[in-house]
Structure 1
């Protein structure tokens, strides 16, 4: 049995991951560039796999994993959608919103790893390569969006 603190932290990360995955999927439908759409869909799939792995780990630890995101995710989608419609470069607005939220999730994982005992942190540490891959994708896209 994993500690309740570890399960709570994992469930918070699952919820944030679900929220971000939802934003990626919404962005993939909203952007105009087909190549960007493909990258966003791929990153959404990577996030969904990360969430599924964390949910499985929570179950193995004797907990009940989160299966839904927060109500704030729907609000965030609408907010970013509105900003993107008003922006001169709609795709860039989506990229910048995703970079911001993705960086927040990565930092939340890093803080959780630092706060948890080593045996609990290894579950999260396994997910870092996926998150860092998404991080590199988004920062690469953000760099080209400035051009």
Structure 2
């Protein structure tokens, strides 16, 4: 993980992970269904663990890991919150937004794995099962919300 490209790629994934974790935590406070709140809290914790592990990988490579998300995360939270407040099925609005953003993060991981050198991609590959678990949660919920 010594190359500049790997460092940059991992920090971009860390930023996206932090942003999504922030959205999950905000959604967990905003939804009305207690069971959904618990699932979102669990997924936020899984994302937080993924971010910490990626940060550790960057540190092991002697680089400085990203520790903050982007300004876009706060904007995204406000936007989804506004849409949810006007929707008749508020929880479904949160589920749909989280499913979209989670899919984008999974695609970004898969793209990075495909384009990084094998030794650099190993750390990301170790995170895929956790990310795919969140993916299954969200898409099951999203499918049920649209039924």
Common fold by TM > 0.5:
yes
2:56 is aligned to 56
Aligned length: 147
Give the C-alpha shift of residue 144 in structure 1: 1.0
1:5 is aligned to 5
- In structure 2, stretches of 5+ residues that fail to align are none
The separation in 2 between residues aligned to 1:90 and 1:77, in whole angstroms, is 14
Give the C-alpha shift of residue 131 in structure 1: 0.3
Q: How does 1:1-147 map to 2 (within 5 A)?
A: 2-147=2-147
The separation in 1 between residues aligned to 2:7 and 2:146, in whole angstroms, is 40
The separation in 1 between residues aligned to 2:123 and 2:2, in whole angstroms, is 11
The separation in 1 between residues aligned to 2:51 and 2:146, in whole angstroms, is 31
Which runs of 4 or more aligned residues in structure 1 lie more than 6 Å from their structure 2 counterparts after TM superposition? none
Q: Secondary structure at the match of 1:65?
A: coil
**TM-score using structure 2 length:** 0.99
